């Protein structure tokens, strides 16, 4: 088995073979919001890369979550805050998601053997699933506009640390080592550490810092959304 961390969708082709299980990560905030939506009863989630495609689904009567540069798009039912996806609004519904980074990463990974949504909100469920599969694993960080970001890397380090403790991997990955070492530094006071990150400042500048503590709290939404490659939908 091989374990890798890919810090950006732009690097994905250098890391993931088609037989890898890809753990898709966008902590601030798409994968956290998707887990929250499923925890509150959503039927399915369709990720789309473009605003125009999201608008077409909206015209067909579906609920749409759309965000660009941290802000809710004016045509959308939801933005990209996990607090938007209450049980009253999403239970039994299919939701179309388009976000600045997470849904572009989902498009990048769609041909992998399997794509699983990962976040701190479901980290124990993701860990247990990876341990059960015993397959090659690539943790794909959505980053910010194809650049490195702190919060996705910290999650990757936390998950990799759990997996390395329980399983043996054949490869030595500098990316995994770096992510794990960063996690070990940050985990003593994760909130304080992450408040120094670029994306935290971006959220704060738009009045969205109230989501940060939720996004880094483990196991608030212990679901396991996976991509059905035949339908193109994430389901439980």
pLDDT for 147-166, tens place per residue?
999 999 999 999 999 999 99
Fold for the domain defined by 3-235: putative 2-phosphosulfolactate phosphatase (3.90.1560)
C-alpha to C-alpha distances, 59 to 20, 21, 64, 73, 95, nearest whole angstrom: 35, 34, 10, 15, 13
Model confidence band, residue 69 (pLDDT cutoffs 50, 70, 90)? very high
The Cα–Cα gap between 12 and 224 comes to 22
The pLDDT of residue 43 is above 90? yes
The pLDDT of residue 17 is above 80? no
Mean pLDDT of 39-50: 97
DSSP H helices, 101-173, are 102-109, 123-133, 150-166
The pLDDT of residue 18 is above 80? no
The pLDDT of residue 29 is above 90? yes
In this predicted structure, what is the pLDDT of residue 169? 87
Model confidence band, residue 172 (pLDDT cutoffs 50, 70, 90)? confident
The Cα–Cα gap between 136 and 218 comes to 24
For 79-91, what is each residue's pLDDT tens digit? 999 999 999 999 9
More confident residue, 41 or 15: 41
In this predicted structure, what is the pLDDT of residue 216? 98
Model confidence band, residue 134 (pLDDT cutoffs 50, 70, 90)? confident
Q: Nearest Cα to 18, choosing from 80, 117, 108?
A: 108
Mean pLDDT of 85-100: 97
H or E segment and range at residue 20: none
Model confidence band, residue 62 (pLDDT cutoffs 50, 70, 90)? very high
The residues, ordered by sequence, that sit 6+ positions from 164 with a Cβ below 8 Å of its Cβ are 3, 176, 180
User: What 8-state DSSP symbol labels residue 80?
Assistant: S
Q: Domain ranges for the chain, please list them.
A: 3-235
Contact between residue 109 and residue 140 where contact means Cβ atoms under 8 Å apart: yes
């Amino acid at each position: 088995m091989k374990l890798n961390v890919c810090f950006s969708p732009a690097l994905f082709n250098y890391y993931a073979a088609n037989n890898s299980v890809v753990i898709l990560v966008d902590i601030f905030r798409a994968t956290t919001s998707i887990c929250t939506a499923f925890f509150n009863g959503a039927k399915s989630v369709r990720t789309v890369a473009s605003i125009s495609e999201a608008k077409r689904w909206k015209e067909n009567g579906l609920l749409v979550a759309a965000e660009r540069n941290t802000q809710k798009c004016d045509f959308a039912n939801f933005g990209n805050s996990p607090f938007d996806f209450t049980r009253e609004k999403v239970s039994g519904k299919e939701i179309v998601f388009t976000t600045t980074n997470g849904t572009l990463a989902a498009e990048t990974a769609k041909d992998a053997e399997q794509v699983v949504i990962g976040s701190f909100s479901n980290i124990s469920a993701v860990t247990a699933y990876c341990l059960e599969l015993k397959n090659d694993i690539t943790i794909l960080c959505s980053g910010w506009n194809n650049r490195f970001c702190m919060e996705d890397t910290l999650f990757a380090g936390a998950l990799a640390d759990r997996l390395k403790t329980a399983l043996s991997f054949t490869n030595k990955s500098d990316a995994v080592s770096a992510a794990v070492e960063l996690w070990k530094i940050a985990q003593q006071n994760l909130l304080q550490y992450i408040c120094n990150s670029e994306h935290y400042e971006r959220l704060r500048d738009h009045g969205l810092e109230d989501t940060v503590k939720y996004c880094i709290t483990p196991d608030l939404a212990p679901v396991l959304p996976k991509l059905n490659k035949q339908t193109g939908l994430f389901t439980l």
